[in-house]
Amino acid sequence: MINEPQRIVTPGEILTQESDFLRGHGVSLQNNQLTATISGVVEKVNKLVSVEPLKSRYNPHVGDIVIGRINEVMRKKWKVEVNSTQNAILSLSAIILPDGIQRRRTSTDEMNMRNFYKEDDLICAEVQKIQWQENKIFLHTRSLKYGKLKIRSIDYLLLILGVNGYCWISSPETVPKIDKKNTDKNNWWVSTHQKTDFEKDLSTDPKSAKLRIRKRFIDDESQRYKSFTQEMREKIARTRNSIFVLSTLNMTIDPIAIMKIYSKSLSLQLESKDMLEPNNMMNLIDAKEEEKI
């Protein structure tokens, strides 16, 4: 009974009569019998039985890359909404300071927290630690891959699929400038974008350099929406709608699936605004199924 492939259960259903199984997620012990507590698919690994729900809030794991929205600026930490059962915590010591220097966080940093991330900013971060007992998630942005998500413009797309179900579509500005010889991947941003300026300024007047960098950090926001081509907007809209088609139809979202829907919509000569009409949505999917066969 338990070995049946893809067995669907509903809450209250008895999973197995045998008693030597361990219970995992979505399973509870009622009257000495393992019963399902959610509706989903039974999964069995050795002696561990669990039920996987087909729709639920984000269940975090250490190392997941997530996209979140800053909800609250608190003392020495930010609260980040990541579609989970609790808001995640990003502490001040878990970010890279804009000057890129590793040092203790001073009270000045604490005062400047809104300059780093303020309410409603979108950030990309990695899950660092989970405290199961208190149900707390800790994030970090200690790599330059992570951090604030800004609107930038250049001719190709940056797509981040957060494991928690949030996606970010934009065009990266600095990524094409990666120096491939530079082996330290985490530091490419500093090396290409900031370090040179910074060092130059530092040699002349360290104070002004500091100011300049802080100013740039703030100015970035005002650069939004500048030089955004029509073509670029069209691409972003099409990608967004491709993802939306997959999500509406409850399909697995991965880069290959997105690309297939994207290219299918182009070959069907659909405008991106028409992609979400039910008929067109079915056309996009049908075509995929044929390809598969």
Partner 1 sequence: MEISEYVNPEGLRIDGRRRKELRKIEIEMGKLEQVDGSALFVEGFTRVMASVCGPKEVENRSKAVEDKAFISVEFLSATFSTRKRTKMSKKDRRVLEICSIIRKTFEPVLQLELFPESEISIFIQVLQADGGVESACINAVTLALIDAGIPMIDFVCSCTGTYLDSFCILDTNFIEETAGGSILIAAILAKSKKVVSTQMKISRLKMENFTELLELVVDGCSRIYDLMEDATRKRTKEQLNSQTALIK
Nearest to 77 by CA among 115, 113, 53: 113
Backbone φ and ψ for 136, nearest 5 degrees, come out as -115, 140
Site string (190-209) toward partner 1, x via CB under 8 A: --------------------
Burial bucket for residue 84 (CB in 10 Å: 0-12, 13-18, 19+):
buried
Q: What is the DSSP letter of 76?
A: T
What does DSSP say about strands 158-161 and 167-170: parallel, antiparallel, or unpaired? antiparallel
12 binds partner 1 (CB under 8 A): yes
Q: How many residues bind partner 1 (CB under 8 A)?
A: 40
CB distance 152 to 171 below 8 Å: yes
186 binds partner 1 (CB under 8 A): no
Amino acid identity of 161?
Answer: L
38 binds partner 1 (CB under 8 A): yes
By beta-carbon proximity to partner 1, the closer residue of 85 and 182 is 85
By beta-carbon proximity to partner 1, the closer residue of 37 and 272 is 37
283 binds partner 1 (CB under 8 A): no
288 binds partner 1 (CB under 8 A): yes
Task: Tell me the closest approach of the beta carbon of residue 108 to partner 1, in angstroms.
Answer: 29
Nearest to 28 by CA among 41, 43, 40, 13: 13
Residues that bind partner 1 (CB under 8 A): 6, 8, 10-13, 26, 28, 30-31, 35, 37-41, 53-57, 71, 79, 81, 85-87, 133-135, 246, 249-252, 257, 285, 288-289, 292
